[in-house]
Amino acid sequence: MIQIVPVEGLPEIRAGDDLAALIAGRAELRDRDVLVVAHKVVSKAEGRIVDLADIEPSDEARALAGKDDPRRLEVILRESARLVRTRPPLVIAETRHGFVCASAGVDSSNAAGSGTVVLLPEDPDASAARLRERLHELTGVAPGVIVSDSFGRAWRQGTTDVAIGLSGIRPLLDLSGERDGAGYELHATVIAVADELAAAAELVLGKTARIPAAVIRGVDATGGGSARDLVIPAERDLFR
């Protein structure tokens, strides 16, 4: 059986906050647990907030903005390595980390003020690793850590949460070579376990209820890797 427990009662997170300590005081953690943390609080604790008053939009940003704030589009362009699709003011971009998502992960909701936006962490795997180390320091327990974000999908409505950073977690479960119940060898069956863990956690996160983290117990996903392993390499990608 799997249990998913919300981490409740966290305060509004500000730059410099010790997020691991705030979580450790509100969650019972065990080894092999997976802690899923919404990137927004990770980004805020890391000071990845941009005040739009400091942004001068380029011509490209103005063109992409439509009726939206061109300064927001300018931040999106700066966070993008490549634009994948645009329909002003909607931008699907590849981030510098290689993730393909709306607005290059730049987020206007839940920001500290209406004139600010929140960026993705500079290096979300490193953010996850730091959280894990600090939790170990504080509690003696080192759970797997996933930093999650809500991504839209090609062809499908609505967002699901995915892993954009991780530590102590095996991102993919490769079943190739194993045999299923009927004796058929499973070819090329790779399950994106870290994304499923992020999606499962979202069911308790509640974007409006200020629950930015959850503990998942009962899935042994212990292992190593990077959230970038969840990105299809350019040469194999049919949808670049």
Q: Residue type for 138, please?
A: L
Nearest to 4 by CA among 199, 173, 201, 154: 201
In the structure encoding, which two tokens stand for residue 214, read together?
Answer: 């959850």
Would you count residue 136 as binding its own copies (CB under 8 A)?
no
Binds its own copies by CB under 8 A, chosen from 29, 106, 197, 213: 197
Binds its own copies by CB under 8 A, chosen from 80, 127, 150, 167: 150
Would you count residue 79 as binding its own copies (CB under 8 A)?
no
Q: What's the CA gap between 118 and 174, in Å, rounded?
A: 34
Q: What's the CA gap between 39 and 63, in Å, rounded?
A: 29
Would you count residue 2 as binding its own copies (CB under 8 A)?
yes
- Least distance CB 80 / its own copies (angstroms): 14
Footprint on residues 205-224 left by its own copies (CB under 8 A): 207-210, 218-219
Would you count residue 112 as binding its own copies (CB under 8 A)?
yes
Nearest to 147 by CA among 191, 194, 217, 216: 194
3-class SS of residue 222: strand
With tokens 């090329």, the residue in question is 188
17/229 with CB nearer its own copies: 229
Would you count residue 1 as binding its own copies (CB under 8 A)?
yes
Binds its own copies by CB under 8 A, chosen from 17, 160, 170, 222: 160
